[in-house]
Amino acid sequence: MAKINFGDVVEEVVTREEFPLKKAREVLKDEVIAILGYGVQGPAQALNLKDNGFNVIVGQRKNSSSWEKALADGWVEGKNLFEIEEAAKRGTIVCFLLSDAGQIEVWPKIKKYLTKGKALYFSHGFGITFSKETGIVPPKDIDVILVAPKGAGRSVRQHFLAGRGINASFAIYQDATGKAKDRVLAMGIGIGAGYLFPTTFKKEVYSDLVGERGVLMGALAGIMEAQYELFRKKGHSPSEAFNETVEELTQSLMPMVGEKGMDWMYANCSTTAQRGALDWKGKFKKAVMPVFKELYQKVASGYEARRVIRKNRQKNYRQKLEKELAKMRNSEMWQAGAKVRELRPENQK
């Protein structure tokens, strides 16, 4: 593993240079990689592995929309596309990429196919970490491994096709064969990870759940809504409110942060913007830190897992979810966003 200096912290990571694709292919040459689930991560990981020359099959509920998507992506029924149980039976590395709710539902059906020497692979630590809530307790004679790309499945595929990679964490929960580390690193390289950094199942799910509810989605949406609504109450037009809240952030500033970091983005803004941002950054940090502390505690205690499982089990959950998303979609802010996107030069005829 390569040692990378992150300021005062030295971290060991795995790069493509020290674990090249050729080595990954050698490690997994006799494996049948069964991707169970073709929703969010499934398509990207399955297609990336296939394109990289690995022996991949897909398991999905027949006649579902995801089954049809798999067919459209070139998977062939009876050749490399099977019902979930059949794929689990055939696979030597069984990739459990169903949703958390789907994993709970399917686990009793696939557990019997996890025979000695196989590997059970996750891209999220939820099922294992919260086993009391999920009932997912793997047999002792199999490897249990994780590779968690730090991006949505769509991004994992797009970056792969562009010749880049999404960074990913990896973890080993159980090494029954002595091959777990080679298996997990080969899988990470196989799906096209930029580099791999070690974690545990517990740390992965804690950071993931906090991140989704925090900066990545929940906090971001909430802060955007607050600023937009303030602008509108103060008499600013929808165009001005949306462009100053969302459009400039996503189209101009965040790409610069992704390219070279927040300090570089600051350095490429006006001195007025720099001074104001630096002066107010601390106030926002102080304001939200208590919320993040509460959030982390609720994730670590299992409260968030129990709440998610309970809500996902409600018969009308999908209908309620669509109502919530429709409320967001139909709000003035995101209706303004739709209009602004239409007016981008590349979308005008």
Query: What are the Cα distances from residue 231, in Å, to 223, 244, 247, 337?
Result: 12, 9, 15, 15
**pLDDT of 303:** 95
Residue reference for tokens 């509920």: 61
Ranges for all domains in the chain classified under CATH 1.10.1040.10: 212-347
Query: What are the Cα distances from residue 274, in Å, to 225, 243, 336?
Result: 23, 19, 28
Name residue 15's amino acid: T
**pLDDT of 202:** 96
Class of domain 2-199: alpha beta
**What is this structure's pTM?**
0.89
Alpha carbons 14 and 16: distance in angstroms, whole number: 7
Alpha carbons 88 and 76: distance in angstroms, whole number: 17
Alpha carbons 42 and 99: distance in angstroms, whole number: 10
Alpha carbons 134 and 107: distance in angstroms, whole number: 9
Ranges for all domains in the chain classified under CATH 3.40.50.720: 2-199
Is the distance from CB of 243 to CB of 340 less than 8 angstroms?
Answer: yes
Chain centroid offset of residue 279 CA: 33
Alpha carbons 252 and 206: distance in angstroms, whole number: 31
Told to judge if 236 belongs to the known catalytic residues of this protein, a careful annotator would answer: no
Mark the ranges of the chain whose per-residue pLDDT is less than 50. none
Give the list of residues 6+ apart from residue 62 with CB closer than 8 angstroms, or none. 83
CATH number for the domain whose boundaries are 212-347:
1.10.1040.10
- Of 93, 103, 104, 124, the active-site residue reads 124
